[in-house]
Amino acid sequence: MRAADPQIPLNAKAANGLSGKRLFRRIRTTSLATSESTYPTSALLASDFASFKQQESIFVILNLFVLATLLLIHTLFSSHWGSPSPALVVVLSVAFLVQLGELVWLQARTEPLRPAAIMTLTGFSIVMNFSLAFLLAELSHREDIQYFIVLVVPILQAAFRLPLVLTIAVVGVADFITFFWVWEYNRHHSVPSSEYLESGTVSLIYTLVGVLVWLLVNHLEQREIKLSESLEQLERTKERLLTEEKLAAVGRLSSAIAHEIRNPVAIIASALSTANRAGIQASERQEMFDIAAKEAARLEKLTSDFLAYARPRGPTKTPAPVMETLAYVTDVCRARSSEKGVTLSVEESSALMTNMDVTQVEQALINLVMNAVEASPPSGNVSLRAVAAGNGLVRIDVEGTANPIPAEATAHIFEPFFTTKPQGTGLGLAIARNVARAHGGDVVLSANRPGCVCFSLTLAAAAAPASTSI
């Protein structure tokens, strides 16, 4: 059976089997549909009203083409078939206008058809073509009737839309009309027995066309069902994997947070416990308090960095000169670079402007510069360079003379809490990348070789303010 109850979705239909007592089934309901409409099955697999309208229009145009061609052939070969009678021309004209009217109605209609309306439309078209073929044969009054080609259209419609039993029934009616006309003509005129053989051949062709087309359509429907089931299974698998990945990410993050918090808390507890021991010297007690305070500060920084990563504030972008931002970052980081014996330098190819939240970008660059300073050897150099990167972007490079990052670590350097520094939190690069992406850019490791490690931050460029003259 090729159709299911309109209220049963496609996957339920596949699960329950194909019933042989229903004419139509729902293929699918589009996401834009406001009502659950049912459409007939077809080789075009019409799944919404627009597709059904296109399919039905094809049948109507086929009918129009057949009718016009038959009248033209009859007129051109009037020496063989005789001139078409006025009644025959009138019948063909009426049928042509009816089909044309249906085509115009289909193209103008925007509301989906109900299942009952689809059944009525299909039945009307089949009955009209049967009646038209028989009426044209009667008006032609010949043993060889070219107008029986009209019978092919209802057979195709049945094969596209009806179950196999009804398709065979439609084919049987077409075969009956073919034989009946030969018998009817033989009652008034003697016809050779070869006419019955010819009618049998035509009936066999009708049967083959109907059954083969039905089998092809049914095969497409079965493939569609399997494809739909596969897509649904793929979606379920995708959702399950996403859920598992989220849970795994939460687990990894929770484990990392617990690890990072446990260490300073344990140190604080140990230091305070030692400071409270009886008989400890004042200098040693003060040292324990200093250790506890230092670890408390580190814990505060950790929580602040984590909040900045987990709940980033949306950027408030304004056009700002890149040079001023680089100069500020250099001034902030110069004290630490001097302690390490690392030289800071700034390069800028031109007066670049960019749309950015200055505070957020400064924080991202400070993270990058401080990482470069910590990784550079004494007497090393860290340079900041801003260039126009094309495509409306500005690229800021933070380049240091450090040893390359190990290959096994490069895939994880932007992950939260991943760090190769003993006192690092592993959030600096993750925060910098969040800031850059919030600005429509990114942070990437653009160079990683001995003596040169470079991180590049890209931002959207802004037009330089127009200069005014007095």
Same domain for 179 and 64, yes or no, is yes
Burial class (CB in 10 A: 0-12, 13-18, 19+), 147: buried
Give the residue numbers spanning the domain of 180: 10-235
Q: Which pLDDT does position 384 carry in this prediction?
A: 92
Same structural domain for residues 172 and 38? yes
Q: Do 106 and 208 reside in the same domain of the chain?
A: yes
The reply to whether 322 and 222 lie within a common domain is no
Tell which of 175, 209, 235 closes a domain: 235
Residue 194: the pLDDT is 74
Residue 63 CB neighbour total at 10 angstroms: 25
DSSP 431-442: HHHHHHHHTT-E
- Assigned domain for 243 exists: no
- Measured from the Cβ of residue 437, the count of other Cβ atoms closer than 10 Å reads 13
The answer as to whether 79 is a domain residue is yes
Question: Is this structure's pTM higher than 0.75?
Answer: no
163 Cβ contact list (under 8 Å, min separation 6) = 1, 2, 3, 20, 22, 23
Average pLDDT over residues 140-160: 80
Q: Checking DSSP bridges between strand 343-348 and strand 381-390, what pairing results, if any?
A: parallel
Better-predicted residue by pLDDT, 402 or 261: 402
Q: Side-chain half-sphere of 385: how many Cα atoms within 13 Å? A: 14
Token digits of residue 9: 């979705």
Query: Any idea which of 190-194, 215-219, 251-255 has the lowest mean pLDDT?
Result: 251-255
**How far from the centroid of its chain's Cα atoms is residue 189's Cα?**
67
From 186, 206, 235, the end of a domain falls on 235
CA 160/CA 209 separation, integer angstroms: 11
Least confident of 144-148, 404-408, 445-449, 461-465: 461-465
- Of the candidates 209, 235, 261, which is a domain's last residue? 235
The CATH number of the domain holding residue 421 is 3.30.565.10
pLDDT category at 212 given cuts 50, 70, 90 is: very high
Residue type, 46: A
Span 374-402, average pLDDT? 88
Model pLDDT, residue 40: 43
Give the rounded percent of residues in the chain with a pLDDT score beyond 70. Answer: 79
Q: In terms of pLDDT, which residue wins out, 258 or 398?
A: 398
State how far the Cα of 361 lies from the Cα of 319, in Å rounded to an integer.
12
Looking at the structure, do residues 225 and 341 belong to the same domain, yes or no?
Answer: no
Residues 218, 118 share a domain: yes
Q: In the predicted model, what is the mean pLDDT of residues 132-140?
A: 82
Asked if the model's pLDDT at residue 24 lies above 60, the reply is no
State the pLDDT at residue 454: 93
Say whether both 197 and 333 belong to one domain: no
445 located within any domain:
yes
The answer, yes or no, to whether residue 422 has pLDDT greater than 70, is: no
Residue 250 in any domain: the answer is no
Q: How many domains does the chain have?
A: 2
Asked if residue 303 is part of any domain, the answer here is no
Share of the chain above pLDDT 90, in %: 6
Q: Is residue 307 part of a domain?
A: no
Residue 91 lies in a domain: yes
Q: Do 29 and 157 fall within a single domain? A: yes
19-33, 153-167, 334-348: segment of lowest average pLDDT: 19-33
Say if residue 446's pLDDT is above 50. Answer: yes
Same domain, 77 and 220: yes
CB 185 within 8 A of CB 67: no
In a domain, 468, yes or no: no
